[in-house]
Structure 1
Amino acid sequence: GLCIGCGACVSLCPYFNSYRGKISMLFPCVLPRGRCHAYCPKAGVELDDLSTEIFNAPYSEKPMGRFISIVTSRATGPSKAPLAQGGGTVTAIMTHALDAGRIDAAVLTGRNGTHAVPEVVTDPADVARFASSKFSAAPTIEAYHRGVAMGHSAIGVVATPCQAMALAQIRVNPMNEPDFVDRTALVVGIFCTWALDERRLAALLDGKVKAESIRKFDIPPPPAEVMEIHTDEGTIAIELSEIRSLVPETCGYCFDMTAEFADLSVGQLEGTPGMNTVIVRTERGRSALDEAVKSGRLEICEISDSDLSRLSAAASRKKERALGKAHEMGIIRYVISS
């Protein structure tokens, strides 16, 4: 199936529920069209229409989508959380956004063992608890819906590419609700090549590590070809060939590596430990980044031509693989080669 379990269809009505990385329909629904379908990032998204609403321009076929600028960054001093991935940029940005009142709540994804757990956070001091990559697919948008129901009006969300696309779908009011208000104030996207099926990951790790002792997952840059699992007892490495067998089929159809519908997109800077790449896509994203820098929580530098070229090539490869597979399976009719 195409469902990635993003949670866009959950907490809108009693019919859908999320459990351990899977979305289930609890009761049959007779509505011809509902918010569940309208918000879904896998259900016939019109990219040109969506891009025009979000960026005031048609969808860009460039590998990294539309953007204003690209920089490298890292958190400074005590701003970097101990478990932060790469340069700790996302933690620094979200902490400052809450502290400065740019957002009144942050939707962040934590972890309980291998189980990804999205939460609504309002205390800037709590943001660091959610640092580090989770890798398991998570119903993060369900937590966004909870934040709206709680009355928050300026919500920041840390999202994977598919989750960022779901948020973009929500923001354009596809159901033409007369009283609709966009409650997103900042969407920080995370670079993503694939996610993992949570249940299958738990089964793979059973007997190798205690789930409750897991501190952090990491994939070192090539040529390592392993996933590292950091625990209270030490670190174990599992070959990526084993890990890739846990990737849901739907990830193979995803063409977006860099969260093209976010305000800011953040990933590790390949070959430079402790640094991130940041793609600035919108004015509100640029403003949030600038404020975090001025606060002293973050520092930024120009990105080198070689790093930019590597990033573009990686994003292009993901697009080519995904579109090729979609064409092969008959999901799209044709692919235009560059």
Structure 2
Amino acid sequence: MNFQNTKKNLKVVISVGDESGIGPEIILKALCSNEISDNIDFILVGSKRNLQNTYKHLRSLGLKNLANPKDLKIHDLEVSSADNDSKSSYGNASFYYLTKAIELVKQHPNSALVTGPICKKSWSLSGHNFSGQTEVLAKSCGVKNVGMLFTAKSPITGWRFNTLLATTHIALCEVPNQLTTELIHSKLDLFKDFCNTYVDKPTLKVAGLNPHAGEEGILGSEEKDWLNDALIAWNEKNRDIKLLGPLSPDSCWNSSVRAWHYKDAEKHDGILAMYHDQGLIPMKIIALNYSVNTTIGLPFIRTSPDHGTGFDIAGKGVAESHSMIEAIKAAVEMTNNSRLLNTH
């Protein structure tokens, strides 16, 4: 995509996330990248004081390629707390940064949301009992069927690599209980709509839950008991989709590796994973820092870097901003593609 042709009235709202992590650093690094167009109207939601202190600190470490907060549009929120250094206070602030950012995006029809990393434990300590930002977004928008999709565009072939999760932030032991025919159908519906914005007749793969997709019931019965029939039933109603699966999870992403690296490789348009790590491990290994988290099914585009808060390296000036840059670029590309939008 040529970002020099981006619409000038496009707004990208960025919530800075947990300020005790690397969020402020990667945002300041990303916003001075030459990969980001000057035509985008950015609004940062967070503490202006914190962003200014982060900038001064990083400059003192010798970093030069940073956006200066004095040149940025910042929706300044100072969330009061009895203990400004506690995980709870940072969690509380990051929660309100997100909710305010959602509010701002709703107010502007041609806008997108990019979210900085948050700490789920800190949210819990501050009394915000959500398992992640995806769940807050769904509730705030009144949407029941949303999908956590990880997407990346190969810099080698231009192929878009998509992995959607059937279940998200839940314990592994809960995954079999959460998986149902209705859930699989709803996620495939979302996936179809997303992929149709890029191709007319997508090819979708579905990973099995069990090793070797159950080996006909020997290694697990879910595929044999209901998942096979669920996929057949959905495909009968969506004959324009080439649906493959359930496939053995240990080889399901092999073709993704080839498509990422070789232009003449056979391409697929998306893989539905049954649970979080099943999809995220191959996604991160293949796409590295090009991977972006996006929530599909919302009335606006939301993306996020595909990594956490990086508490262990916060303040050291070594945080990699590539995933944040890719998150911004993906948000712009998908927002400019009006077919991805509903009524927003």
Q: What is the TM-score when the length of structure 2 is the normalising length?
A: 0.25
Q: What is the TM-score when the length of structure 1 is the normalising length?
A: 0.25
**Structure with greater helix percent:** 2
Higher gyration radius (CA): 2
